[in-house]
């Protein structure tokens, strides 16, 4: 990347489970882990491993100069809980259409 900012993406090798208020939202052995300068590791999950039927698209979009524009999804009691990059920058193309949660249990 630039100015000492780095992003690496690799297969995590960990089981990732996301639970919110006792409800399992995601369960995956196919997560990618993205490590970015100044940020905690983030797990990007295939949509097939996420209960997308429980999520509602949000109007929120954010822009990262390194990854591109993110779209968000919410639960009734958890706005913008999940995000994805439908058209990420070329350097992070592996995360295209994968979903990421703010808090996950990766073991």
Classify residue 2: in a domain, yes or no: no
Separation in Å, CA 17 to CA 6, 12, 27, 34, 60: 26, 13, 4, 16, 24
pLDDT band at 12 (very low <50, low <70, confident <90, very high): very high
Classify residue 22: in a domain, yes or no: yes
pLDDT band at 107 (very low <50, low <70, confident <90, very high): low
Q: What is the mean pLDDT of residues 81-91?
A: 97
Query: Is the predicted pLDDT of residue 1 greater than 90, yes or no?
Result: no
Per-residue pLDDT tens over the stretch 19-70: 999 999 999 999 999 999 999 999 999 999 999 999 999 999 999 999 999 9
Query: Is the predicted pLDDT of residue 98 greater than 60, yes or no?
Result: yes
> Percent of the chain scored above 70 by pLDDT?
95
The pair of structure tokens assigned to 96 is: 């295209």
Q: Say what the pTM is.
A: 0.92
Classify residue 20: in a domain, yes or no: yes
Total domain count, the chain:
1
Domain of residue 59 covers 7-106
Classify residue 88: in a domain, yes or no: yes
Classify residue 53: in a domain, yes or no: yes
Bridge partners, 44 (sequence order): 32, 100
Distance CA 33, CA 95 (A): 9
Per-residue pLDDT tens over the stretch 73-82: 999 999 999 9
């Amino acid at each position: 990347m630039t100015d000492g900012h780095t992003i690496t993406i690799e297969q995590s090798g960990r089981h990732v489970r996301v639970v919110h208020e006792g409800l399992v939202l995601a369960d995956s052995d196919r997560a990618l882990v993205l490590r970015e300068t100044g940020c905690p590791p983030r797990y990007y999950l295939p949509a097939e491993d996420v209960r997308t039927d429980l999520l509602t698209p949000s109007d929120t979009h954010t822009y990262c100069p390194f990854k591109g524009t993110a779209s968000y999804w919410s639960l009734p009691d958890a706005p913008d809980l999940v995000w994805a990059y439908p058209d990420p920058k070329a350097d992070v193309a592996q995360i295209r259409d994968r979903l990421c949660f703010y808090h996950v249990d990766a073991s």
